[in-house]
Amino acid sequence: MKLLGLIRHAKSDWDNPALEDFERPLNARGYRDSKLVSLRLKEAGIIPDHILTSAAIRAASTALIFSKTFHLQEHQIHVTPLLYAATETAFLEILRSLPDSSSCSFVFGHNDTLSHVAGLLARQPLIHVPTCGAVILETGVEKWKELNKCNLRLFDFPKRELTD
Residue 164: which pLDDT band, with cuts at 50, 70 and 90? very low
> Which residue, 83, 91, 131, 128, is CA-closest to 109?
83
Residue 114 makes CB contacts below 8 A (sequence gap 6+) with 6, 7, 8, 91, 129
pTM: 0.95
Please report, for residues 87, 97, 148, the alpha-carbon distance to residue 62 in angstroms, rounded to integers and kept in the order given: 21, 22, 26
Calculate the average pLDDT of the chain. 95
Tally of structural domains, the chain: 1
For residue 106, the SS3 value is: strand
Full residue range of the structural domain in which residue 82 is found:
3-12+21-101+112-156
Cis-peptide into 112, omega within 30 deg: yes
Specify whether the CB–CB gap between 88 and 80 falls below 8 A: no
Section 141-164 average pLDDT = 88
In this predicted structure, which of 1-10, 40-49, 125-134, 139-148 has the lowest mean pLDDT?
Answer: 125-134
pLDDT above 90 covers what percent of the chain?
A: 89
- 14-25, pLDDT tens digit by residue? 888 888 989 999
In a domain, 58, yes or no: yes
Is residue 142 included in any domain, yes or no?
yes
SS3 60: helix
Reported in sequence order, the residue ranges of the chain that DSSP labels E, i.e. its strands, are: 3-8, 50-54, 77-80, 104-109, 134-138, 151-156
Residue 161 domain flag: no
pLDDT of residue 56: 98
Residue count of the chain = 164
68 lies in some domain: yes
Residue 57 lies in a domain: yes
Q: How far is CA 158 from CA 11, 35, 39, 88, 133, in A?
A: 11, 10, 11, 25, 7
164 lies in a domain?
Answer: no
The enclosing domain of 142 has a CATH number of 3.40.50.1240
The continuous run of DSSP H or E covering 121 comes out as helix 113-122
Residues 128-147 have pLDDT tens digits of 999 999 999 999 999 999 99
Confidence category of residue 117, pLDDT binned at 50, 70, 90:
very high
71-105 pLDDT, tens per residue? 999 999 999 999 999 999 999 999 999 999 999 99
DSSP code at position 49: S
